Structure 1
Amino acid sequence: MKGTEVIADGFGRIREVVHETVGGLSADRLNARIDPAANSVAWLVWHLTRVQDDHVADAAGLGQVWTAGGWEERFGLGLPAGATGYGQTARQAGTVRVDSSELLLGYFDAVHAQTLDFLRGLAAADLDRVVDERWDPPVTLGARLVSVLADDLQHAGQAAYARGVIERLG
């Protein structure tokens, strides 16, 4: 199995967790917070999707699905176009509210499709290409993709946990 196939498999696993977590949730449960400082399922999945969209689009030299695909307007969050949720306070994260699981999954699936299309076009040597020189050592494409995978899996797990608590609390 090629390295790019392993990475694609990882992104597929994120998709499974996101769909299991978000599927069938009402808007109230998507946006519920366990406590005022906790992130909602909606915010966690929106954030992991925005980060994937931002980082993969940048590395691939593509436009972000968020803006190019009209998702920013469909969500109507009133945030700057480049917002990913990174660095938001609990109060700011609480303003990210999603109307339906279908909307959230639609955006996630569009980003997932763009990610897989990009991965399919890569050769193993492409993973060594430097995509960010602001770090020491500079970040390669392989390291960036693994970083996105790790962050997305963590947030997907947090969202699954939050859904479980929210459902138990009723």
Structure 2
Amino acid sequence: MKIHTAKKDQAADIAQLIMMAMTDECCLYFTGDGQTTDDFRRTMTRLVEMEESQYSYTNTLVAETDEGRLMGVCVSYDGGKLHQLREAFVNAAKEDFGRDFSGIDDETQAGELYLDSLAVYPEFRSHGVASSLLRASAEKAKGMGLPAAGLLVDKGNPNAERLYLRIGFEYVDDAVWGGHAMKHLQYKV
């Protein structure tokens, strides 16, 4: 397995994996009535192709097979830059769906590399891909001079929480994001 920063031509795959991490229900929440997940996929692909977007390929680590097949992704960025990076999403949602998310809750803050989206294609699950991406993300945080890598995990997703805790993430506090009860976990680097 090889892990490296994504390339722009991987945007469609990255968008698909981000949407897997978000779930269809969440994607359709952002699009609003009368839109489809295909509509959201087009918008997300555009956001991944941008350099100044929280979902940018430049913020994405990819895991590939030795033959170059994409296995999974981890999108992460400096939490202190959330508002700046989120502008692209807010503008795209206004343009594409007529929805204003400028007041959306913050899911991170300065002082951590925020792991926004982690997803692995089903055929590569249970092969250590997610664990490898999480460890690589912790190294990314260290390389950026950030003291921690952080994430939110849905309280209704105990399997994901067990994975994070096994890697070395620790509970920080409770949070609510998108109407869901979450736990804020961090990995100190």
Q: Same fold (TM over 0.5)?
A: no
Relative contact order (C-alpha < 8 Å, sep 6+): which is higher? 1
Name the structure where strand makes up a greater proportion of residues. 2
**TM-score for the superposition, normalised by structure 2:** 0.26
